[in-house]
């Protein structure tokens, strides 16, 4: 796996961790320990998405700030193999 695929894979994993922590927090809204875990992984995810978007292509529209070329439009499409 190349570093682009590896980073995308890791973003998928940390996103899953956040979904599962979110489900737990939905039923345990005062569990501060779980909230600390959520905050920790949320910060990591933001860093990873930002890193990916700067190195390769924006994953979300809010990461699509561009100068010379509209980067959002230049990103590979799912049927071009961008999803793995």
Partner 1 sequence: MQDYKYDNNIDKFPVAMAYVPWQRFEKMFDDLEKAYHIGTIFPELDKPFTGRRCV
Q: Say if CB 64 and CB 52 are below 8 A apart.
A: no
How many residues would you count in the chain? 84
Q: Which is nearer to partner 1, 25 or 75 (CB)?
A: 25
Strand locations in 1-84, DSSP E?
none
Determine if 2 is a binding residue for partner 1 (CB under 8 A).
Answer: no
Distance of closest approach, residue 22 Cβ to partner 1, in angstroms: 11
Work out whether the CA dihedral 66, 55, 72, 59 comes out positive or negative. Answer: negative
The counts of H helices and E strands in the chain are 3, 0
Q: Give residues 21-80 in contact with partner 1 (rule: CB under 8 A).
A: 21, 24, 27-28, 31, 33-34, 37
Stretch that binds partner 1, among 10-18, 47-55, 63-71, 73-81 (CB under 8 A): 10-18
Residues that bind partner 1 (CB under 8 A): 12-14, 16-17, 20-21, 24, 27-28, 31, 33-34, 37
């Amino acid at each position: 796996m190349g570093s682009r695929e590896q980073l995308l894979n890791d973003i998928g994993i940390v996103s899953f961790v956040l979904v599962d922590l979110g489900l737990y927090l939905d039923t345990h809204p005062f569990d501060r320990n779980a909230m600390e875990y959520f905050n920790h992984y949320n910060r990591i995810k933001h860093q990873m998405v930002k890193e990916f978007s700067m190195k390769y292509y924006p994953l979300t529209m809010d990461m699509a700030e561009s100068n010379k070329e509209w980067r959002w439009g230049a990103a590979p499409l799912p049927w071009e193999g961008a999803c793995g």
